[in-house]
Amino acid sequence: MKKLNLLLLASFMALGSGAAFADGEAAMNKAGCMACHAKDKKLVGPSFKDIAAKYKGQDVAAKLFDKVRKGGSGVFGPIPMSPNGPDKIGDADLKDAIAVILKS
């Protein structure tokens, strides 16, 4: 019985994380993130894969949230990222997007 409960719990967790990925990816598309970023290649900004690699093993979700909101430059090169306010991508969508990026 315990094994069945654990299996069911793992299944629900997997389904839930898939929904977060879909929401995060949809939010990035809607907010225009994909105009400058791609999953696995550098465009104007770094790829999500490069961002995930740079911050692997670090708890940087809050730092990246702040970076998206305020914009900036110098971390991945000289081209600045413009600020992206809550009118462009909501807080919950941004958190989902950052989770997707960090798992790339």
pLDDT at 35: 96
Tell me: pLDDT of 10 over 50: no
Q: CB–CB of 98/26 below 8 Å?
A: no
pLDDT at 37: 97
Condensed to tens digits (0 to 9), the pLDDT of residues 45-63 reads: 999 999 999 999 999 999 9
Distance CA 93, CA 98 (A): 9
Q: CB–CB of 26/32 below 8 Å?
A: no
First to last CA, the chain: 35
Round the average pLDDT of the chain to a whole number and report it.
Answer: 84
CA distances from 37 to 21, 32, 34, 47, 67 (A): 16, 9, 5, 6, 15
Lowest-pLDDT range, 14-28, 74-88, 90-104? Answer: 14-28
pLDDT at 68: 97
